[in-house]
Amino acid sequence: MRWSMPSTLFAVAVLAIPACKGDKSLCDRVEDRLRDCGLLSEGRFECQEFEIDEWDCLVNCELDATCEEIRAIECDDEKVASVTECQQDCMKRLGFTCKDGSEVLLGLQRCDGDEDCDDGSDEADCPTFQCKDGKATVMQYQTCDWREDCDDGSDEAGCPGFVCANGNRVTADSVCNGRRDCLDNSDEAGCPVFTCRDGKQEISEALHCDGDEDCDDGSDEAGCPPVAELVCPSS
């Protein structure tokens, strides 16, 4: 059986993922666990969250493991039976098993318009969306995919994201990220700024301590905490 995702804690930070559970975010819990086990260097833990139930479940399996087991997985790329079993259970419960039983996919790979199963069963019997004007029916996965598939554009109406001043839509995380995502730059309007050491140049606060020098004098990266890295004992 094949699995379609890597599943190590540190990959969370690199791949950028999951949802919140309880008071602490998954990223915080991953950071705490890696630190408790002495597997993380000092510094800012770079980790981004987004919501995939399976990922949350997969990571939790590893969070429950002992430090020794986590070290084996993260540093030595070893499989730990109890963690693997737990993760296979996550995929069975939350994922989609191809009809021919050959593969288990992430739930979001079901009806996403790409055939991921060899037998194409992940794209069979998928829901459709009726355009508001009643003229056409498109696939559900074509709603909120940033392309107008209905003549009246109703498949893209009311979708999440930020609507630019010119009416275009960009993802919610485009707002105040220091990059121009709307052609009219309205996604960066009124965002906090960082003043470079020369006192003249201003850049987006989002670019302060982001690892790249954006001020001409590089002062936006001066005195920033280092980025935490995975530490593997040499023994």
Least separation in angstroms between residue 117's CB and Ca ion is: 7
C-beta of 77: minimal distance to Ca ion in Å?
28
The DSSP symbol for 44 reads: B
- 3-state SS, residue 131: coil
Dihedral angle sign, alpha carbons of residues 29, 33, 36, 39: negative
Please tell me the distance from the alpha carbon of residue 235 to that of residue 232, in angstroms, as a whole number.
9
Choosing from 56, 74, 103, 155, the residue that interacts with Ca ion (CB under 5 A) is: 155
**At its nearest, how many Å lie between Ca ion and the CB of residue 180?**
6
Q: Does residue 31 interact with Ca ion by CB under 5 A?
A: no
Shortest Cβ 221–Ca ion spacing (Å): 5
Q: In whole angstroms, what is the distance from residue 76 CA to residue 68 CA?
A: 11
User: With left for phi above 0 and alpha for psi between -120 and 50, is residue 111 left, alpha or beta?
Assistant: left
Q: Is residue 49 part of the contact set for Ca ion (CB under 5 A)?
A: no
Per CB under 5 A, contacts with Ca ion among 128-147 are 142, 145, 147
Choice from 109, 121, 186, 219 touching Ca ion (CB under 5 A): 109
Report if residue 32 touches Ca ion, rule: CB under 5 A. Answer: no
Q: What is the DSSP string of 127-152?
A: -EEE-TTSS-EEEGGGTTSSS--STT
Say whether 169 sits in a helix, a strand or coil.
strand
Inter-axis angle of helices 26-36 and 53-63, to 10 degrees? 20
Size of the site for Ca ion (CB under 5 A): 20
Question: Between residue 163 and residue 222, which ones bind Ca ion under the rule CB under 5 A?
Answer: 174, 177, 179, 181, 187, 207, 210, 212, 214, 220
* 23 lines the binding site for Ca ion (CB under 5 A): no
> In terms of Cα–Cα distance, which of 234, 232, 235 is closest to 9?
232
Using CB under 5 A as the criterion, which residues of the chain lie in contact with Ca ion when the complex forms?
Answer: 109, 112, 114, 116, 122, 142, 145, 147, 149, 155, 174, 177, 179, 181, 187, 207, 210, 212, 214, 220
